[in-house]
Amino acid sequence: MIFRRSIVAELTSTASAVFTVLFSILFSVGLVRILGQAAGGRVDNEAVFQLLALTSLTWLPVVLTLTLFISVLMTLSRAYRDSEMVVWFASGQSLVAWLGPVLRFAWPIVIAVGLLSMFVSPWSTSQIDELRRSFMQRDDVSRVAPGRFIESGGADRVFFVESVNFEDSQVRNVFVSMRSQGRDGVIVAAKGQIEVAPNGDRFLVLEQGRRYEGRPGSAEYRTMEFNRYSIRIESRPDRPLGERSARTKPMSELIAEATPFAKAEMLWRIGIPVASLVVTLLAIPLAYTNPRVGRSFNLIIAVLAFAVYLNVLNTVQAWVQQDRMSFGIGVWIVHAAVLLAVVLLFVRRVYLQRWWPRQLTPAYWRLRRSP
């Protein structure tokens, strides 16, 4: 009992360290990516940390699953390297006896993965989708950040403003580069504002400025000065946001729809918590370490096995989404194959010294032929 409690304590300590490292990597990569999108005008500057927190929630199920796998793998590998497993086997215990302490450690995390996958991740994905859509539905000037060049939604204009007053939609010291019908134009103005036409169209009205227009490669350019110049803004902020994707819908809506996209999303949400339990069991036989081979060899093989598992699960999800495989088969076939591999690995480690009889090995026959 004391030894099993020490195993759970070591697993918990290792999992805390592994999760900290993985989450730090995820947080750093997500922060750089979202800051790059904010700098390019694709997301709202004020929503950077909100998007970062929501994105972290969407990846937590996979991170926790990988944490379970690596922590069990590292703990048992250390026991093999330090000859603790020799003491374990000499005391009459088998590798199967590790199932109890490992599952005792893993079940709260598996439940957390299930809750995150079923409820929290869809909610965070829907919040991210709403933030991005609402920002993209803004007019071009509302998306402009002072002091930076921002591309418009139609990718045919580039805006630069020195200052923006979002309360009354006033901009100061405006620079606009635009292309229309093969001609390039540059507009500079001292100020501008948003005006709404009676039919609902929105215009950026610039005041006290100049426009330069010409064709690339030609020396003919036109220069015009104006007191007022109107630019029609293509996007309409009052436009509906559109239909939500399957990733943003709760489980109740997915079950009610029963479309291929909904079934594929349900397969993924159900598959992640099941995979977290299966890879925990898989890590026990894969943790065997031969001191002559090296410490990192089994870890590399195990991480490759984990990557293959998730990639195959993604492939089956795509097949269900394309209606090439039924949901009833796809929801269990990958996990059943990995569970069969777990059983075979346990049989190999507990009952067999090798995968095939010694008489079938070339070394055996070379020894028999030697005088």
Q: What is the pLDDT of residues 289-302, one digit of tens each?
A: 776 665 667 778 88
* Helices vs strands, H then E, count in the chain: 10, 6
pLDDT of residue 250: 87
Q: Which value, to the nearest 10 degrees, does the dihedral of the CA atoms of residues 248, 250, 256, 261 take?
A: 30
Q: Is the pTM of this model over 0.75?
A: no
Q: Flag whether pLDDT at 198 surpasses 50.
A: yes
Mean pLDDT is lowest, of 86-90, 97-101, 166-170, for: 166-170
Q: List, in order, residues 6 or more apart from 115 with CB less than 8 Å away.
A: none
pLDDT for the residue numbered 142:
54
The more confidently predicted of residues 47 and 167 is 47
Q: How far is CA 207 from CA 198, 204, 229, 281, 337, in A?
A: 21, 10, 6, 70, 69
Q: What is the pLDDT of residue 112?
A: 95
Mean pLDDT of the chain: 81
Of 336, 327, 332, 330, nearest to 254 (Cα)?
A: 327
Instruction: Point out the least confidently predicted range of 92-106, 124-138, 142-156, 217-231.
Output: 142-156
Give residue for tokens 């199932």.
Answer: 99
* 3-class SS of residue 228: strand
Q: Residue 16, SS3?
A: helix
Place of tokens 């309409």: 236
Given a cut of 70, whether residue 284 has pLDDT beyond it is yes
Task: Give the pLDDT of residue 241.
Answer: 42
Predicted confidence (pLDDT) at residue 117 exceeds the cutoff of 90: yes
Q: Which residue has the tokens 């439940």?
A: 111
d(CA 46, CA 307) in angstroms, rounded, equals 35
| d(C-alpha 105, C-alpha 11), whole Å | 7
The beta-strand segments (E) located in the chain are 150-151, 157-165, 170-180, 183-196, 202-214, 221-233
The answer on pLDDT for 285 being more than 80 is: yes
Provide the token pair at 11.
């697993």
Q: Of 137-141, 209-213, 332-336, 360-364, which has the strongest mean pLDDT?
A: 332-336
Residue 152: per-residue pLDDT: 64
CA angle, 106 as apex, 102 and 107 as ends, to 5°?
120
191 strand-pairing partners:
172, 207
**Smallest Cα–Cα separation from 7: which of 66, 90, 92, 95?**
95
Q: What is d(CA 193, CA 206) in angstroms, rounded to the nearest whole number?
A: 7
Question: Which of 42-46, 317-321, 331-335 bottoms out in mean pLDDT, i.e. has the lowest?
Answer: 42-46
pLDDT (0 to 100) of residue 239: 44
Give me the mean pLDDT over the 204-231 stretch.
81
% of the chain exceeding 90 in pLDDT: 32
Q: Which of 169-173, 236-240, 259-263 has the lowest mean pLDDT?
A: 236-240
Query: H/E element holding 361?
Result: none
Residue 88 has pLDDT above 80, yes or no: no
Distance of alpha carbon 143 from the chain centroid: 26
Integer Cα distance of 144 and 42 in angstroms: 10
Under a CB-based contact definition with an 8 Å cutoff, are residues 314 and 330 in contact? no
The predicted structure's pLDDT at residue 244: 60
Mean pLDDT of 277-290: 88
